[in-house]
Amino acid sequence: MTKRTRRAVAVLSAVLLSAAAAAGCSGKQGATPARLGDSRSPRAAGATGGPGSPGTAGTAGTTGAAGKGFTLVASGDVLPHTSIINAAATGGGGYDFKPMFSGVKDLVTAADLAICHSETVYGEDGGPFTGYPDFTSPPQVADGLKDAGYDGCSTASNHTLDDGGDGLKRTLDTFDKVGLKHAGSARTAAEAATVTTYTAGSAKVAHLAYTYDTNGHPMPEGQPWAVNLMEEEKIIADARAARKAGADVVLVSLHWGTEWQTAPDERQLTLGKALTASMSGGRPDIDMILGTHAHIPQAYEKVNGTWIIYGMGDQIAGEMFNDEGDHDLRGNYGSIGRFTFAPPAAPGQRWRVTKAEYVPQMMDLGAGKVVNLPAGLAKDPDHAAYKNAEDAISEAVLSRGAAKDGLTMGK
């Protein structure tokens, strides 16, 4: 998000919408991940583990055809504007965000691994909770994400330092408390040097996350590693370190792009090509790129044989106003990416995406929840707003020819 984004007074500005278009950020993330954090997904309890075990990630790329595949779902920005926070209020200072995610809960929980994007930091219990230009959200948002079935979130965004190191720490402490993993920000140098991982099927999945900026907020004193900044060499080095440490699949979340622009911008295109072209030992260093930040759905594209989602759009957001100050329904549109991975056909090869899908979703402000649009239209085929949203999302998602590479709309 940028300072160019304007909001209605009634909305009182987004908890997660950014304040600076291209503000410079001091500090540079410098710690290279040196080891994997063995974070087993609760939905992968039956997966085998341990170096050298059949179908495990003891040595990167050695998993054979006997291994077990998995499904991944990933979704866009969680942006609880003040109006959204107010809608979640239960009285007495309490908040409940679980109903807002109920419309996509079945879809999320059905996946073996589910990744969200938490853009704002959390305040203390009871608040105060602030909006534009520096945001703090109720920590109960994390309870809503966990209840929806998410296993973890990317936490690197231009709002990660809105409340300095204290806000960052509160957020990650809350994630730990509710059982959500996180990637992209860190409380200690040791945490910054540890790659977030999950076990999904028989794969060890590493999750890395980066942001283009922190809205000019400097890194906390003595903590240059607090937030991962989006630097090509750094991302590739981190991905290679994760692979060397045993990751079968490396996912990279990028908070990037130009707000309200459907087409990926030049930096997205250039960086996307460079990252997907990076290889070691004849194998890509990165297996998928998951993009956030633009507020609206952007294209999916297969580049150098690797899927890139340039932007998934907003998942949770209040009424949105674009750069011209106009109410823009696209700010409540998004997509969930769903990908089926299969073990490599031969030792040393990459895990293969055998099915690629997008599921259109919409934050229905009247209903107060995210709607799985294909499911919603199955129940009410004549719902004009849902149909218009599904059509607009599909047009954006397929705008760079992803259909020819097998991307289809899921339910």
Q: For 19-67, how does the pLDDT look when each residue is reduced to its tens digit (9 = 90+)?
A: 333 333 323 333 344 456 644 344 543 332 232 222 333 334 444 456 9
Average pLDDT of the chain is 87
- What's the pTM? 0.87
Classify residue 15: in a domain, yes or no: no
ω into 80 cis (within 30 of 0)? no
pLDDT digits (tens, 9 = 90+) for 68-90: 999 999 999 998 889 999 999 99
pLDDT of residue 132: 74
Distance CA 394, CA 266 (A): 22
Classify residue 285: in a domain, yes or no: yes
pLDDT of residue 313: 98
Q: What average pLDDT does range 208-230 have in this prediction? A: 98
Classify residue 231: in a domain, yes or no: yes
Report whether pLDDT(327) > 60.
yes
Classify residue 10: in a domain, yes or no: no
Contacts of 307 (CB under 8 A, 6+ apart): 288, 289, 300, 301, 337, 339, 353, 356
**What is the percent of the chain where pLDDT is above 70?**
84
Q: What average pLDDT does range 388-406 have in this prediction? A: 98
Report whether pLDDT(9) > 80.
no
Report whether pLDDT(355) > 90.
yes
The 10 Å Cβ neighbour count of residue 382 is 7
Report whether pLDDT(98) > 50.
yes
* Gyration radius of the chain's alpha carbons: 20
pLDDT of residue 80: 87
Distance CA 56, CA 200 (A): 10
Classify residue 150: in a domain, yes or no: yes
Containing structural domain, residue 333: 35-409
Q: Write the DSSP symbol of residue 359.
A: E
Residue type, position 388, single letter? N
Classify residue 374: in a domain, yes or no: yes
**What is the percent of the chain where pLDDT is above 90?**
80
Report whether pLDDT(171) > 80.
yes
Classify residue 8: in a domain, yes or no: no
Confidence of residue 135 (pLDDT cuts 50, 70, 90): confident
pLDDT of residue 43: 54
Q: How far is CA 65 from CA 48, 103, 251, 281, in A?
A: 14, 35, 21, 20
Distance CA 377, CA 390 (A): 9
Report whether pLDDT(7) > 70.
no
pLDDT digits (tens, 9 = 90+) for 258-274: 999 999 999 999 999 99
Q: Write the DSSP symbol of residue 42.
A: G
pLDDT of residue 12: 34
pLDDT of residue 37: 65
**Mind spelling out the 3-state secondary structure of 75-130?**
EEEEECCHHHHHHHEEECCEECCHHHHHHHHHHHHCCCEEEEEECCEECCCCCCCE
pLDDT digits (tens, 9 = 90+) for 244-262: 999 999 999 999 999 999 9
pLDDT of residue 35: 57
Confidence of residue 133 (pLDDT cuts 50, 70, 90): confident
Confidence of residue 106 (pLDDT cuts 50, 70, 90): very high
Classify residue 14: in a domain, yes or no: no
Q: How far is CA 403 from CA 289, 333, 353, 398, in A?
A: 18, 20, 14, 6
Contacts of 164 (CB under 8 A, 6+ apart): 217, 220
The structural domain count of the chain equals 1
Report whether pLDDT(8) > 60.
no
CATH code for the domain in which residue 159 is found: 3.60.21.10
pLDDT of residue 34: 43
Beta strand 314-317 with 306-309 is unpaired
